Structure 1
Amino acid sequence: MASSSSSSPHKKHDVFISFRGEDTRANFTSFLHAALCKNHIETYIDYRIKKGEEVWEELEKAIKASALFLVVFSENYASSTWCLNELVEIMKCKKNDEDNVVVIPVFYRIEPSHVRKHTGSYQTALAKQKKQGKDMIQRWKNALFEVANLSGFDSSTYRTENDLIEDIIKVVSQNLNQKYTNELRCLFIPDENYSSIESLLKNDSSEVRTIGIWGMGGIGKTTLAATIFQKVSSIYEGSCFLENVTEESKRHGLSYTYNRLFSKLLGEDHGIDTTKVISSIVMKRLKRMKAFIVLDDVRTLELLENLIGVGHDCLGAGSRVIVTTRDKHVLTGGGIDEIHQVKEMNSQNSMRLFSLNAFKKILPNEGYEQISNNVVSYAKGNPLALKVLGSFLRTKSKREWDSAINKLKEIPNAEIQKILG
């Protein structure tokens, strides 16, 4: 269940288990790990007994690449400096990324207050670590206190360990489903797409710069542009996001589009008529303004030249204009300064998006894995296609799935083909 990066970085591992090997390696932790794997939850666990610098470097990377942490507190957890250092690193990650990192304590045959208040075996273990120095011991104590105060599980309240593990799996799944559902709402914007546009915007040029985003329909151009707009528009003196520019211009006329553009930038309606010269007062105001503009779904060179021409002539130094289109030639012909092609979703994120729409969870139901792979392959990493296919198949039986997939291969679904075309 590993995920790729995005603007809100996705994690390689769903779960990282921190545990004291001598206490739980041969029993509880092994059973927990097996249950997580059975539920298709990508879990990092280190069973190695021998530790060293290379192992620690690997663990640090794994911790930073994990979305959720299960910390199994047991009788001798605090006697391991290795476990304590892991815990400090885990809490460091949580503090650096509060919204995306979840830490869940599991008190296995240990009184939670011993961990929280550093009493019992935890007091004894920490007392033996004096040679590590006061600062280090305090960091360990702080981490123990912070994690022990988080919502978690106490094994003493369960009749069997199997019941405990079942509840842990439920909570982990709920957390991951919520996390990945939120990320999927952004269609898993691949990191290379986001980073590329962001770097282009950071160009220190005082000139008015134009950036083109192109790709097939449904690939996520508008979502990418909207995400960038939401993040950076506030640092500009004026901003405007115009969706469906081509459709709106056809329906209401170019004057309407101009009026929306300048009214949003200036915060007032100027009733601009494109058959006349824009008033010198409006022109002067715009010329002094550092603006950020997104023109979404521009399909013709003529429309682009009309809109971008006005932008270059009227906007102030340092302004940026993003244009989205399906046709790269619109951008090259229109003299756009920088052009970026939106990359399709990778196979893992494609499966997640499809599953969310088909099964209401981030992985296929048991028995649907192969047929889901076939659908994901057909959609070619297109987010909108994956959503349409998932929603279409959601209420169908497995037999109906087989029939629908075969029909798609023989007689392509018009809506999907329109998206992918």
Structure 2
Amino acid sequence: MAPLESGQLPFSLMSRADTEFVRESKFIHEITEMISQKLNRAYLTYETNYPVEIDSRIREINDLLSVGVADVRTIGIWGIGGMGKTTLAKAVYNSVAHKFEGSCFLENVREHSKAPGGLVQLQKILLRNILGLKMSNVTNYDSGLNIIKGRLRYKRVLLILDDVDHLDQLKYLAGSSDWFGLGSRIIITTRVEHLLLVHRVDFTYQVKELESDEALELFSSNAFPTSRLPDDYQELANGFVGYAQGNPLALTSMGSLLYGKNIDEWQSILESYKRAPASNIREILKITKKELERQVRRPEENVLTNVEEEHGVHDLQSSGLNEAQSNELMLEQNDTISGTPEVERLQGKISETYNEVTGLNEVENTAKLLGVETVSSTQEEERIQGHINRTDDVTEQNEDENNVNLVEGDKTFSSIQEEDLLGKAPGTDDEIRHSPVLKHYKHFKEEFLTLRLSQ
């Protein structure tokens, strides 16, 4: 009988050298796994112009998470729209994701759930991100639920569900702690604290308004080339910061709007804010949005007028051409103008910026932008409780029963699919937060002022 290799011997019979070899091999394997996890982890990028301290908030969340403790914990992060919940959740994800066997950040669950089959797609993404496999056998809510429970029960995972507004989203994505292996952490961001209480999360964390000094710093960094506030703007800046009420989105929007303007223009815009009802953040954002639209439209119209004049497009009929000939020539010259690379680039930028701003679907959506003062807390709790009571019955309803109307405030929304019952607030602070206006507005005015079109 051939002798056994040393690696096949019982541990107690191995030589000291063999024992050391096994230990070293195990150590190398663990190091390799750790490096592999870090290299393969997709870190999240997030736009933030906030110079204010975010590290302290990350530390507070990480203290609640207590990564490394062998239990399963669910943390709820809540606050009104525009407070930076998603930014904070992404920062936390980047700081700890490498410590888990698998991780997934499901962004904007509320909006994605509205699409037909939206929750099923979210289940597939969750499984694919954590397991690295395409899950073609997820065909409905229940099959996805069972696969999540079965495949992740013994896996240490980090799961973040961003912008949740309905209990069904939690039911089908992270229904219970025993779905996940020991050491797992689930983070939920939402505007509705009551939803977290009903789901019985282990800890809640409220994202509060910025302190006055932080708010002024954030505002100034968007209103000026540097965060240093000129002395003659100090009083006006304090006025704007007061209206923003410590809301990062409002502060960023205001600062971007005021960038490059003189004191008289600042005073004029501040007067428009003074006409808004006191402490009404949605009115402040509505005013900011309209002013941004006006500022974007004005340079667009000026540039196109200047282009037409430079290329001799205007006043063609005075040259003796009849109307038909004039129109034909104008179309030809417009084609030439629109084909100029610089014009095409600027028109695309203007279009992208303007569409992003005006995509808020009028005043009603702007009013719901932050998710405040649209539905009272009592109405919101009743709505959530109503959905909770229907959770067990909704999958049994037929198509006619699913065709219901959900009324919030002054707006009625039709719901056809089961998943369309999830998340009905139409406006989203992401539409302003990720708007190119806020990303590029600082350089927008200068670009138009220095524009020179080549012949």
Asked if structure 2 preserves the Cα contact closer than 8 Å seen for 1:213 and 1:342, the reply is: yes
The answer on 1:353 being equivalent to 2:224 is no
- Find the counterpart in structure 2 of residue 233 from structure 1: 97
Asked whether the equivalents of residues 124 and 144 of structure 2 are also in contact (C-alpha less than 8 Å), the reply is no
Deviation of residue 187 (structure 1)?
5.3
Higher mean alpha-carbon deviation, 405-414 vs 249-258, is at 405-414
How far, CA to CA, are the matches of 2:212 and 2:47 in structure 1? 16
How many corresponding residue pairs? 239
244, 269, 294: which one pairs with 1:404?
A: 269
Q: Post-superposition shift, 1:284?
A: 4.1
Q: 181, 194, 202: which one pairs with 1:329? A: 194
In the alignment, does 2:140 pair up with 1:274? Answer: yes
Give the equivalent residue in structure 1 for 2:255.
Answer: 390
Shift of 1:302: 2.6
Q: Is the 8 A contact 2:67 2:183 kept in 1?
A: no
| The one of 84, 89, 108 aligned to 1:244 | 108
Structure 2 portions without partners, runs of 5+: 1-45, 277-282, 289-366, 373-455
Q: 1:303 to 1:284 in 2, by over 3 A?
A: closer
Flag the 1:189–1:243 CA change in 2: closer, same or farther, 3 A: farther
CA contact (8 A) 1:187 1:383 kept: no
Q: CA deviation at 1:239?
A: 0.3
1:260 matched residue in structure 2:
125
Mapped to 2, the partners of 1:281 and 1:343 lie a distance apart of: 37
The code of the aligned residue for 2:226 comes to K
Q: CA deviation at 1:307?
A: 2.1
Match of 2:240 among 375, 379, 386: 375
Moved more, 280-289 or 346-355: 280-289
278 and 351 in structure 1: CA distance in 2 versus 1, 3 angstrom threshold: closer
Alpha-carbon offset, residue 328 of structure 1: 0.6
TM-score calculated relative to the size of structure 2? 0.49
Separation in 2 of the partners of 1:406 and 1:239? 48
Letter in 1 for 2:233: Y
- Deviation readout 1:304-329 (Å, 9 max, x if unpaired): 233220x5342111100000011111
Shift of the 380–275 alpha-carbon distance from structure 1 to 2, 3 Å rule, reads closer
Q: More deviation in 205-214 or 256-265?
A: 205-214
CA RMSD, Structure 1 to Structure 2 (Å): 2.5
Q: Is the 8 A contact 1:184 1:353 kept in 2?
A: no
- Write the mapping of 1:38-77 to structure 2, written as runs, cut at 5 A: none
Partner Cα separation in structure 1 for residue 272 and residue 211 of structure 2: 25
Asked if the contact 1:354–1:376 (Cα under 8 Å) also holds between the matched residues in 2, the reply is yes
Picking from 284, 293, 313, the partner of 1:413 is 284
The 1:187–1:211 alpha-carbon spacing in structure 2 relative to 1, beyond 3 Å, is farther
Q: 1:297 aligns with which of 132, 154, 163?
A: 163
Greater per-residue helix proportion: 2
Which of 151, 154, 177 does residue 285 from structure 1 map onto?
A: 151
Secondary structure at the aligned position of 1:251 is classed as coil
Instruction: Please say if residues 243 and 284 of structure 2, whose CA atoms lie closer than 8 Å, have aligned partners that are also in contact.
Output: no
Q: Is the 8 A contact 2:244 2:284 kept in 1?
A: no
C-alpha distance in structure 2 between counterparts of 1:283 and 1:301, whole Å: 18
Distance change >3 Å, CA 419–CA 367, structure 1 → 2: farther
Unaligned runs of 5+ in 1: 1-181
Q: Quickly say closer, same or farther: Cα 1:410–1:279, change in 2 above 3 A.
A: closer
